[in-house]
């Protein structure tokens, strides 16, 4: 049917979208190699800096695979963005190449456990990844069969195609499983995988590398799993500002020559060092700053682009985390962040945080839990690297309390949580009055 569209609304040509794409490509004159600005990209080993000790330790543990021996189980632990996945993947990639040259069938199967859910889902996902690695399919369905059949299928695939296999279980502490079980799903997974070599079910050599941000994860591992897993521990500490600068300088060629002003890398490193020494954040800041500079037509990436990127990256990360948490956790986090905003230290103590939480739940006519539940929910949020906890004492006769310290700016957390319309009835001025009244008691 004809339309009344005027000539100014008529597309110029079928190639106009292509022309727009080409114009945007021409305008994007600052970033040359975007893959170097992807935080999870496995980069060349000469770009790996600041982790010599961990690199040496992991290499010594895993190198036995090139002699067709079983490597020990490993536990890599430390804060997010400190190089755990980067180092283990880089080492395994080289071992795969060396094993191929010696006709040793060495496999590396990596699984991020964050969104897996249950033990059965984890076993099937591992079988699927093995099948994908060797170019075949899984012969059991994902649903409607007992876990034993999934385990047998996983063992069959390994036995037929590998001499040695290393399972890398990233963010393992997130694999909790059903709450009605005596131990979390990650404990049962560790038990089954680490004892596989001692059963008749499997003839290949199996090694397990567990990666976690939670330093207390092993406290939740059952006694059977502990006795069979017995890993070699490799600790990854925060990067400091100097190491973060080295990491960014090693990726400086992601940009065209002279595209970065001198203060960009030091500032991006300083921002990342302030928030748990996270290399992923430092790299993400550089990428975002470059994109902002290109969109505005700047001739260089400058300090103001990094500062704008800092605000954007913080908001994006907090939004990503908070989008999926329960309403009660949001209220606990909101109350605690509101206290931290007013203390000026980025920290809040649990008794005051709880009283502000009580105010919020009363204002919103929401369910209100006891202080112990509030504290437990805040502890659970440490998994997302939003907040850290430290127990402190009020004195020999006054008991103790928890202090919550925020990795991100608490004001950013408040601003992000306010995107939930259920918090519209909480007014900033009144909230600030309540918080200060509690602080001044």
pLDDT band at 297 (very low <50, low <70, confident <90, very high): confident
Does the annotation list 251 as a binding residue?
Answer: yes
E strands of 103-170, at which residues?
Answer: 106-112, 164-170
pLDDT band at 2 (very low <50, low <70, confident <90, very high): very low
pLDDT band at 393 (very low <50, low <70, confident <90, very high): low
- pLDDT value for 395: 55
**What's the average model confidence in pLDDT over 38-60?**
85
Does the annotation list 129 as a binding residue?
Answer: no
Q: Are 283 and 39 in contact (CB under 8 A)?
A: yes
Q: In the chain, what are the domains?
A: 51-235 (3.40.50.300), 239-321 (1.10.8.60), 324-439 (1.10.10.10)
pLDDT band at 94 (very low <50, low <70, confident <90, very high): very high
Q: How far is CA 116 from CA 194, 206, 233, 314, 321, in A?
A: 19, 21, 24, 26, 17
Q: Are 104 and 66 in contact (CB under 8 A)?
A: yes
What span, in angstroms and rounded, lies between the C-alpha atoms of 373 and 233?
32
**What's the average model confidence in pLDDT over 364-377?**
90
Reported as a single tens digit per residue, the pLDDT across 225-257 is 999 999 999 999 889 999 999 999 999 999 999
Reported as a single tens digit per residue, the pLDDT across 96-106 is 999 999 999 99
Does the annotation list 280 as a binding residue?
Answer: no
Contacts (Cβ under 8 Å, ≥6 apart) of 254: 31, 32, 33, 34, 36, 37, 286, 287, 290
Share of the chain above pLDDT 70, in %: 90
Does the annotation list 83 as a binding residue?
Answer: yes
How many other C-beta atoms can be found within 10 angstroms of the C-beta atom of residue 340?
A: 26
Half-sphere exposure of 307 (CA within 13 A, CB side): 4
Q: Does the pLDDT at position 193 exceed 70?
A: yes
Strands ordered across the beta sheet of 387-395:
347-349, 399-406, 387-395
Does the annotation list 86 as a binding residue?
Answer: yes
- pLDDT value for 394: 61
- pLDDT value for 23: 65
Does the annotation list 228 as a binding residue?
Answer: no
């Amino acid at each position: 049917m004809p339309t009344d569209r005027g000539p100014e609304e008529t597309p110029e040509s079928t190639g106009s979208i292509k022309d727009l794409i080409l114009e945007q490509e021409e305008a994007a004159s600052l970033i040359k190699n975007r893959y170097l600005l992807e935080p999870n990209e496995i980069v060349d080993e000469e770009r790996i800096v600041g982790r010599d000790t961990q690199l040496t330790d992991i290499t010594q543990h895993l190198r036995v695979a090139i002699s067709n021996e079983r490597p020990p189980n490993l536990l890599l632990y430390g804060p997010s963005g400190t190089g755990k996945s980067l180092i283990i993947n880089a080492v395994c990639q080289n071992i795969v190449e060396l094993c191929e040259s010696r006709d040793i069938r060495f496999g590396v199967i990596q699984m991020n456990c964050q969104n897996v859910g249950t033990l059965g889902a984890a076993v099937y996902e591992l079988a699927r990844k093995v099948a994908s690695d060797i170019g075949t399919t899984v012969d059991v369905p994902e649903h409607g069969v007992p876990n034993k059949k999934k385990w047998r299928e996983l063992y069959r695939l390994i036995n037929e195609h590998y001499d040695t296999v290393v399972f890398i279980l990233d963010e393992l502490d997130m694999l909790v499983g059903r709450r009605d079980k005596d131990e979390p799903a990650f404990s049962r997974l560790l038990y089954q995988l680490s004892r596989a070599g001692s059963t008749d079910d499997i003839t290949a050599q199996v090694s397990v590398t567990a990666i976690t941000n939670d330093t207390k994860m092993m406290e939740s591992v059952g006694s059977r799993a502990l006795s069979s897993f017995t890993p070699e521990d490799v600790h990854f500490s925060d990067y400091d500002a100097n190491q973060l600068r080295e990491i960014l300088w090693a990726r400086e060629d992601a940009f065209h020559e002279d595209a970065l002003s001198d203060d960009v890398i030091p500032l991006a490193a300083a921002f990342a060092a302030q928030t748990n020494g996270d290399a992923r954040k430092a790299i993400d800041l550089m990428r975002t700053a470059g994109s902002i500079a290109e969109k505005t037509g700047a001739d260089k990436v400058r300090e103001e682009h990094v500062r704008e990127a800092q605000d954007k990256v913080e908001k994006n990360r907090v939004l990503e985390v908070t989008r999926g948490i329960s309403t009660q956790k949001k209220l606990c986090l909101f109350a605690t962040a509101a206290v931290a905003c007013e203390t000026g230290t980025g920290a809040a103590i649990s008794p005051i945080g709880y009283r502000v939480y009580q105010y919020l739940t009363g204002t919103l006519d929401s369910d209100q839990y006891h202080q112990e539940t509030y504290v437990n929910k805040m502890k659970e949020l440490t998994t997302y690297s939003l907040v850290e906890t430290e127990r402190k004492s009020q004195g020999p006769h006054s008991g103790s309390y928890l202090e919550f310290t925020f990795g991100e700016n608490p004001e950013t957390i408040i601003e992000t949580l306010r995107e939930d319309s259920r918090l519209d009835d909480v007014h900033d001025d009144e909230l600030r009055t309540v918080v200060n009244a509690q602080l001044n008691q």
